Amino acid sequence: MAFFLQNVVNALQAGSFYALIALGYSMVYGVLLLFNFAHGDIFMVGAYVGFFVTTGALLLVSTLGLVALPGWVVLVLVILVAMLITAFVGVAVERIGYRPLRQAPRASAAITGLMIGIILETGNLALLGATRLSFPELIQTTTYTVGGVTLTNKRIMIVGVALLLMFALHQFVQRTKWGMAMRAMAYDFGVVPLMGVPLNSIAALTFALGSGLAAAAGILFSVAYPVLNPYMGITVGWKAFVAAIIGGRGSILGAALAGFLLGFIEIFVAVIFASTYRDLIAFSIILLILIFRPHGFFGEAHTSRLRL
């Protein structure tokens, strides 16, 4: 039982990253009906931005001789600042790669997304070189053991922050005027702009929100696995993309739940079978889910066509 619960905890942590990234995919799909294939790399950018903000902040504290804030306060501030900066990156990606192609076939927009992803990866590699950076440790790991289950404060923090952000996003989308505009746009992309909803601002907002969440995921990821590399976003990003799909495109709740589901599948496959079978079995399960629920768990049957 303790063994099972231990893996549930592990799965919750893995699922948090997937869920946060999948939300970005899902929102962009819901509002603009396109797959933002650069999203995985925005996750990577978020992690790097977090790294630089953290080192910058630590440097500032040590040079000015300020009273050092507790680690978790710094972390929260870093997450907020990095989310803001990465949101601008996301808006820039939308402006450069997607807005000029709004009338074009969606597949073309997917290609520009892929290409922007490659630019972000290579640009990172060209600017920072091939040395792997390691994320500074802001909070000391403390370990608690509850009934045979090992919890660390980092794990609790990761899952907690992820859930908090998801809740905040939910409130934003459900309670605010901007959120309402996003929902309306997701409902009918063609007509709603005619009702005076600014299409470009809503698109930018969607990308900003998604990128902010990806940045948070990136920092949380680096807290758990402190080594950064320019290609860290690829695999995680594509898996989160798949999670967004099985959650149901455009459904925020679905994306979050499917992200956690993917985490659970991956962790438990690795536990039950050998870890080399992880991708094989995880994706086979996803294939089966899609065969029986083509539109995901919470998605509506979309009759959208590729605008060719």
Residues that bind another protein (CB under 8 A): 35, 96-97, 100-101, 103-105, 107-112, 114-116, 118-119, 121-123, 125-126, 234, 238, 241-242, 245, 249, 276-280, 283-284, 286-287, 290-291, 294, 301-306, 308
Specify the residue, 94 or 121, whose C-beta has the smaller distance to another protein. Answer: 121
All residues at 6 or more sequence positions from 1 whose CB lies less than 8 Å from its CB, including other chains: 148
Q: Long-range pairs for 168-172 at CB < 8 Å and ≥24 separation?
A: 169/23, 169/209, 169/213, 169/252, 170/252, 170/253, 172/209
Q: Closest approach of Cβ 164 to another protein, in Å?
A: 29
Q: How many Å apart are CA 109 and CA 100, to the nearest integer?
A: 9
Q: Closest approach of Cβ 48 to another protein, in Å?
A: 17
Cβ-count burial 113-150 (b if 16+ within 10 Å, e if not): beebbebbbeebeeebeeeebebbebeeeeeeeeeebe
- Are 205 and 287 in contact, with CB atoms under 8 Å apart? no
Q: Closest approach of Cβ 281 to another protein, in Å?
A: 8
Segment holding 12, helix H or strand E: helix 2-32
Specify the residue, 146 or 280, whose C-beta has the smaller distance to another protein. Answer: 280
258 to 21, 124, 167, 288: CA distances (angstroms): 11, 30, 16, 14
Q: Closest approach of Cβ 207 to another protein, in Å?
A: 16
Phi, then psi, of 149 in degrees rounded to 5: -100, 130
Q: Closest approach of Cβ 123 to another protein, in Å?
A: 6
Q: Closest approach of Cβ 162 to another protein, in Å?
A: 24
